[in-house]
Amino acid sequence: MLNLSRPRRNRKSQAIRNLIRETQLTPHDLIAPLFVIEGSNVKDPIHSMPGIHRLSIDLLVKECKELYGLGVPCVSLFPAIEEKLKTPEAKEAYNPNGLYQRAIKEVKNAVPELLIMTDVALDPYSSDGHDGLVDPKTGEIKNDETLEVLARMSLVQAKSGSDILGPSDMMDGRVGYIRDALDEENLINTAIMSYAAKYASAFYGPFRDALNSAPKKGDKKTYQMDYANVREALREAYLDESEGADILMVKPGLPYLDVIKTIRENTTLPMAAYNVSGEYAMVKAAAERGWVDGEKIMIEMLWSFKRAGADMILTYFAREAATYLNH
């Protein structure tokens, strides 16, 4: 008689597979990135991201209501700013009456229970297309000078109703600088989700199409991370945690599951993964050609982030995934 260990006994039915499942994925784990644009009743398709649109504030509010109804607890907003408003100093970033601040207020007023996460970086507002201020003579990204602008825009966003600030700029010391600025204004309940490990990646292309925010010159490799490194990611995470981050993020997600796992094993803070635009676009493109089952790939991909250690996932699949998980 064979004396075998039989792990298949724990896989013999859906009921037992559900019972012993090690990780869970629900709509409550999802954050939906959304793009806002000026106008009324505007739904402008982003061709490199099938199914995703730039939305005017009225349609953005409608989308947020529907996402909240599906069980998605948080949206992350990104502004598509008119080119004429972009300057080297990125002054529109802290305009209290700008598109972004008006969108935050409208969404918060319409769906007060929905968490609003906002982006803290200069590239949507900069005529240079960089996340920090650029020295016009040398082309160098000016770290310390940028911190003041980041703090100003953080305060404006928080006062407009942002629940979670997402510094995505990768300037040294920005989490502590922003935390101090918030606390000085008694905005102590505004959380910070730091882009702790944000890599200089080719997976961001469709996102830059959405905001027309690609660098006009050079690249972002002096401030975004080298994709060959993981120990460096741990250093960045430690620094952000020590400076007051409430949540740590890894971006992109799918090619960096090892980074998510490494940071997860070395922090007690909540962890986020960003399932970025290029990852989304690849699945959609392959599914449109009939090469893969897009829905099954979507769910398997999202589950991989949870398995690696992410507590929450920013994903352009949020609506689609929430609908799937609710049935």
Catalytic residue among 86, 108, 220, 251: 251
Classify 36 in phi/psi space as left (phi over 0), alpha (psi -120 to 50) or beta. beta
* Cα separations in angstroms, 101 against 82, 113, 208: 15, 18, 21
* Cα separations in angstroms, 240 against 152, 248, 298, 309: 19, 8, 30, 18
Whether the Cβ atoms of residue 23 and residue 307 lie closer than 8 Å to each other: yes
Closest CA to 39 of 26, 54, 23: 54
Residue 296 is a catalytic residue: no
The torsion defined by the Cα of 291, 295, 297 and 302, in degrees rounded to 10, comes to 160
Chain-centre distance of CA 45, in angstroms? 20
Catalytic residue among 108, 198, 220, 284: 198
Rounded distance between C-alpha atoms, residue 11 and residue 288, angstroms? 32
Token digits for 136?
């016009």
Rounded distance between C-alpha atoms, residue 83 and residue 136, angstroms? 19
Residue 198 is a catalytic residue: yes
Positions annotated as catalytic residues are: 198, 251
